[in-house]
Structure 1
Amino acid sequence: MTKSQEIAPYRMPAEWEPHASTWLAWPHRGSDWPGKMEPIPWVYAEIVRALTRHETVNLIVPDDIRHAAATDALTRAGADISRVKLWEKPTDRSWVRDSGPIFVRDSAGGRVALDWHFNAWAKYPDWLQDDSLPAFVAESLGVKSVQPVRDGHRIVLEGGSIDVNGAGLLLTTEECLLSKTQERNPPFSRADYEAVFAEYLGVQKVLWLDRGIVGDDTHGHVDDLARFVNSRTVVTVVENDPSDENYQPLQENLERLGGMTDVHGTKLEVIPLPMPRPLIFEGTRLPASYANFYIANGTVIVPTFNDPADRLALGILADVFADREVVGISCVDLVWGFGTLHCMTQQEIATR
């Protein structure tokens, strides 16, 4: 451990550590789900219903009309409205995992909202309203906001591109952070990212995987690929069909994980998760993955795809999270927006 890592001012808690709430943004952009927008609010309502059994949901709505529509949908779906707080703010899209703040603790245990720069995955031109979301959340909560910088420039980072165990480890992919395609922070190197993660997230060791899954619009987010489920255990998706496009990349990642260790040099436990059969809509393969689950207080919500592998994935995660309720949420329609449950949620860590 280096001196800079020993005195890192911040620590990003693991997702399974206690939450004050979950933040979401009500879906309103029809072009994110072209031709399929009608069922999407009902998927969100089901997610909120599942989460409000265990924690508060902070829900961002763009205007009065969506405020009323969201309230009506949540009420009809049976969500616990007493545990939902609605906040009015325009957003470009609804993928709060990537546009929202990342909450960390400072050296005194207080909460800090990291305001990373968001540029719509270095792919789309409209992102200004989403980029202002972390500052809005921090101000609404009265939490200190910090904009991570390096060499005088704000750093672009999406929450879906990383996963942490809260004890010094971070998972990410070379495809997302080091590729010249959808390049977030040119000319950042591997060493640049590792220094940033040490300074702002308290990371002592970065575990670099290769590529993400086929169909991923973000170019390699790790939250569709491999996730920590405790401080030294990772679940990772594996494709069993050698003819599938995902087979070789996922085998490569599995092999890499098999040789990885924690900050003490102890080998990680690696648990394979199945992949659903290819999910194709209008000729487009969608990034359907069971790794895009979200861990909340007392529950884990897991995307399902009307696939035989649904029950296998739910069973594996139920064994891993024996102390939590594991709930499947049908995401056949939601994934047409190129993301599911983890992509749309962002945890707010508990006050202490």
Structure 2
Amino acid sequence: MGRISTAVGAFSAVFLMTLTSCSQPAQDGSKLDGHYENATANKLNSLAGTFRAVAEYEPSQGVIISLPLIETYNKTDFAAAIVNSDVDTLWITVPSTFTGNVQTSAVFAGLRQALGSKISKVKLVRQQTPGSLTVWARDWSPQSSVNANGEIGLIDFNYYPNRDADDFTAQSMERLLDFDRVSVPVYNEGGNFMNTTAGHCLMTTRVTDANMYADQQDDMILDAEGVKHFYQIGAGCSEVTIFPRMPYEGTGHIDMWAKFLNDDTVIVSELRDEVLNLYSNTYVNKARTVQTYLNTRAREIAAMGYKVIRMPTPGPVFVANDTNGMFRSYTNSLTVNGSVIIPRYTTPAYAQHGDRNGQYFDAAFTTKYEREVTQIYQSIGYKPTWITTDDLIGNGGAVHCTTMQIAR
């Protein structure tokens, strides 16, 4: 068993995957705990120690998104950028009631125009369970695994009980790809997980918040040791670090402020004084608390032996009568096959997030920050593409939150 660390105490745990959305998951005391999904404990136990979760920067055969990314958010350019990142397939989950197809449905007209002959790479995954779909594919899609023989499998963690159609995605992909699927009876979202090929897994206390109570009859009530046990056997992590969740940020997800770029390098958001100086007296203390949090996490990760690169971040937008802020993040990117798709924030999609001129309060720094972010990703060898995501981030997520890779 590997060493498990936490910024609050010492655990000994291992991995994570699906649950809420990158939008606004439940806060402390959320009543979500694990159960096996069309599977048994015997299968998980029989495979324990034979596989590990695949890191995001390892080769990908494809990426999963959902229909709302195209239909509701009109992110045709985003989907096209994924297809152009050397993947074999872009899978789009659609509701069980969807009767169209990629070649003729009007909702995909823009994508057909953008991709031309590459539209053949787009495949629909029709869910077998009734219900609407959310856009947050990172959180409810299966996490890829790999065993010693190089065989790819699927890790299926629990998602919200009231989002059955989303939560069924792992079973849909199991049938489509004929991969082994392992159900792990723990609730956690894919946005709250990052890992290395060596088995170091990082997340926040969102995972422990989510497994304190039972929500449905067959849920397990898991304490920290129980969660640790399932991470060990369910994702092959040899070392797990559980950080406190970021203050005033609603998702609790680690992908809102950090990201592995390879086995040795971690980017961590940096809220700089030049942005802090723009806050009014009403919100400056909140912003300063966030700055301290990020600086502390960066020091802790560097002390683990990683190269830490500080990524400039726009300031959280705080509004009256809302405890949490709106966090724009350049770490909420998708790295796939040597490319990186980065969220761009230009003009607030919602009036409450803009100043009196309808702009972000720190817009003066946008060009400089984008230039620096581009240089950071390029320095590690990634080819960057920028995608405007103001509407997505206004709902709590961006690029990483809406995508999930399937390993090659």
Same fold (TM over 0.5): yes
Give the stretch that moved more between structures: 308-317 or 68-77: 308-317
**2:334 maps to 1:294:** yes
- 1:206-245 correspondence to structure 2 within 5 Å: 206-212=240-246, 214-216=248-250, 218=251, 220-240=252-272, 241=276, 243=284, 245=286
Correspondence 1:50 to 2:84: no
Query: Using the alignment, how far apart are the partners of 1:212 and 1:344 within structure 2?
Result: 20
Q: Does 1:61 align with 2:126?
A: no
User: Identity across aligned pairs (percent)?
Assistant: 22
Task: Report whether the alignment pairs 1:141 with 2:177.
Answer: yes
Displacement of 1:186 in angstroms is 7.2
Give, in whole Å, the separation in 2 of the partners of 1:163 and 1:315.
23
- Contact 1:29 1:92 survives alignment (8 Å): no
State the match for 1:123 in structure 2: none
Higher RCO by CA contacts (8 Å cutoff, separation 6 or greater): 2
Report which stretch shifted further, 179-188 or 284-293: 179-188
Corresponding residue for residue 309 of structure 1 = 366
Q: Which residue number corresponds to residue 81 of structure 1? A: 119
Give the aligned partner of residue 167 of structure 1. 198
One-letter code aligned to 2:305: K
Moved more, 57-66 or 179-188: 179-188
1:272 correspondence with 2:303: no
- Deviation at 1:29? 11
Secondary structure of 2:63 counterpart: strand
What do the CA deviations read for 1:141-189 (whole angstroms, capped 9, x no partner)?
Answer: 11111111xxxxx221211111112212111112x12337996887433
1:105 aligns with 2:139: no
Checking the alignment, whether the CA contact within 8 Å between 1:23 and 1:345 is kept in structure 2 is: yes
Evaluate the alpha carbon distance shift between residue 83 and residue 213 of structure 1 in structure 2; reply closer, same or farther with a 3 A threshold.
farther
Task: Please state how far the C-alpha of 1:22 moved relative to its aligned partner.
Answer: 0.5
TM-score (ref. length: structure 2): 0.70
- Pairing 1:325-344 to 2, within 5 Å after superposition: 325-344=383-402
For residues 259-312 of structure 1, the C-alpha deviation after alignment (integer angstroms, 9 at most, x for no partner) is: 346xxx862221111221344799874232111101111310011112433542
The answer to whether residue 235 in structure 2 is matched with residue 201 in structure 1 is yes
TM-score, length of structure 1 as denominator length = 0.81
Q: 1:192 to 1:317 in 2, by over 3 A?
A: farther
Structure 2: runs of 5 or more not aligned: 4-12, 15-47, 278-283, 347-362
Unaligned runs of 5+ in 1: 31-36, 121-125, 149-153
Q: Does the residue aligned with 1:47 lie in a helix, a strand or coil? A: helix
- Between the aligned partners of 2:260 and 2:308, the Cα distance in structure 1 is 9
1:24 and 1:312 mapped to 2: Cα distance? 28
Structure 2 contact 330–373 (Cα < 8 Å) conserved: no
Structure with larger Rg: 2
Q: 1:310 to 1:294 in 2, by over 3 A?
A: farther
Residue 49 of structure 2 corresponds to residue 8 of structure 1: yes
* Structure-2 change in CA distance of 1:136 and 1:157 (3 Å): same
User: Per the alignment, in what secondary structure is the counterpart of residue 319 of structure 1?
Assistant: helix
- How far residue 25 of structure 1 moved from its aligned partner, in angstroms, is 0.6
